[in-house]
Amino acid sequence: MSHLQSIFRLLPVAAACIAGPALATNGYFAHGYGLKGKGMGGASMGMAQDSLGGATNPASMVWVGNRIDFGADLFMPKRDSERSGALPPGSTLNGFIDSDRTAFLVPEFGYNRMMGSDMSLGVSVYGNGGLNTTYPQGSFNCGQGPANILCGSGEVGVDLMQLIVAPTLAYKLNAQHAVGVSLLLGYQRFKATGLQAFAGTPGFSTDPASVTNNGYAGSTGVGLRLGYQGRLSDVVTVGAAYAPKMKMGKFDKYKGLFAEAGGFDIPSHYSVGVAFMATPAVTVALDFGRINYSDAKSVNNPSSQAFNCFGGDASACLGGANGPGFGWQDINVFKLGVAWRMSDALTLRAGYNKGDNPITPADVTFNILAPGVMKDHYTAGFTYALDKDSEITGALMVAPRQDVSGSSLFNALFGPGAGGNEKIGMKQTSFGLAWGRKF
């Protein structure tokens, strides 16, 4: 019981450490979890490297042994939006604008304890996010005086943060195979600003007072992650993990914005992977994963649902049972990583992460708020042993600019050509450090 008590005493500390903005790259999921995995493009299904297994593959924790990990990533996205070609020529609906905030600190924490030789109990704490923009008002004008790019007033943007605390139990079935389960205790918070035009358009929302500028709203939920890891030979390890949809509570302050009266569930996702020791010093890892954004109507529903709303279908209005969303599609993610143990003290890593872009041209207007368009991520990293029990790990990620262009939704609202075309874009860099200790 003392092991359990020591773990749960750490939970509030871990939650306090990580409860800041957390942004991501495969949609609003991170390209990897744990600084070692991040240095390898996120490839982790066949790896057992740190105590962040509750965020990736719970079965890996029983191979990790007794250890603790603290880390933080400085995430630096640059996001922008542009509208052009709006009529009449010279229209003040046209313009270019950058999102203000460009640096976020994303902490991570893990702890694992062996309960005998075949079972471990630990906890991993991590975050998701990425629906974060902060655009200044700019010089737009929607016919009723100065406005922001979405025809509201003042700063416009959204902020989503998801915190997951994952107590994890792992068990060796035998000397080669292990299974694990993580209980996912989720907390998320959200706020929106500058969307007065959506609230003020008659009939566009089921609850106009719950669309924008209501401060942060929070919700909680509980889910599971199941994992398997098997050592098929001395040089090949395979792994798989699955997390079903995590049902979250409603964002009551934004029940007039998100579908299902403020619903924002965390979608199901799974990964499979293999790690291969090409030489005693070089390991190559490859993962395939899928994120099912279609599980969450507020994320997956197309913004074109607004047309049905104006056609008289109240369920298709903002906040309705089938209301407009960001139109994000399910995505596949491929992760390739290499680790080279140069010496007993130094390991170098490199990786590549290729994810689908979840955003289509038809949904560009809504995704001015959430330009999660990234596809390619290049990574590098290292671990340096400070002594026989402690180490420092670093990881770098660079994601070149991606953009998506499409016809403005305002063309349908204000008349053909009135909104012209819109383009959203983003590029990203991150650098993180972590300290780990075996005990």
Query: What are the per-10-residue average pLDDT scores of the chain (439 residues)?
Result: 49 47 76 97 98 98 98 94 91 93 91 98 89 90 90 95 96 98 96 95 94 97 98 98 97 98 97 98 98 97 93 95 97 98 98 97 95 96 98 98 96 86 96 97
Q: Check residue 232 and give its pLDDT.
A: 97
pLDDT in tens, 294-318: 999 999 999 999 999 988 999 999 9
385-418 b/e with 16+ CB inside 10 Å = b? Answer: eeeeeebebbbbbebeebbbebbbbbbbbbeebb
Radius of gyration of the chain (CA): 23
Residues 6+ apart with CB under 8 A from 55: 33, 34, 108, 124, 126, 164, 166
Burial class (CB in 10 A: 0-12, 13-18, 19+), 12: exposed
Residue 119 and residue 4 in contact, taking contact as beta carbons nearer than 8 Å = no
* CA separation for the pair 347, 193 (Å, rounded): 45
**Domain chopping of the chain, boundaries:** 2-438
Widest CA span of the chain, in angstroms?
74
* CA separation for the pair 126, 29 (Å, rounded): 11
Residues 6+ apart with CB under 8 A from 224: 181, 182, 183, 184, 243, 244
Q: Check residue 11 and give its pLDDT.
A: 47
* CA separation for the pair 265, 249 (Å, rounded): 8
Of the chain, the end-to-end C-alpha distance in Å amounts to 19
Element (H, E) at 16: helix 2-18
- The neighbouring-strand residues paired with 393 are 383, 434
Q: Check residue 20 and give its pLDDT.
A: 47
- Taken in order 305, 310, 315, 321, is the CA torsion positive or negative? positive
Domain 2-438, CATH class in plain words: mainly beta
Q: Check residue 281 and give its pLDDT.
A: 98
* Phi, psi (degrees; rounded to nearest 5) at 198: -70, -35
Residue 378 and residue 397 in contact, taking contact as beta carbons nearer than 8 Å = yes
Q: Is the pTM of this model over 0.85?
A: yes
> Of 268, 187, 247, nearest to 15 (Cα)?
187
Residue 41 and residue 379 in contact, taking contact as beta carbons nearer than 8 Å = yes
> What's the angle, vertex CA 51, arms to CA 181 and CA 338, rounded to 5?
105
* 143 phi-psi bin (left φ>0, alpha ψ -120 to 50, beta other): left
Question: What are the respective helix, strand and coil percentages of the chain, to the nearest 5?
Answer: 15, 45, 35
Taking CA atoms, 28 is separated from 5, 45, 144, 358, in Å, by 33, 20, 35, 10
> Count of CB atoms within 10 A of residue 202's CB?
7
Q: Check residue 130 and give its pLDDT.
A: 60
3-state secondary structure of 120: strand
> Of 34, 40, 58, nearest to 434 (Cα)?
34
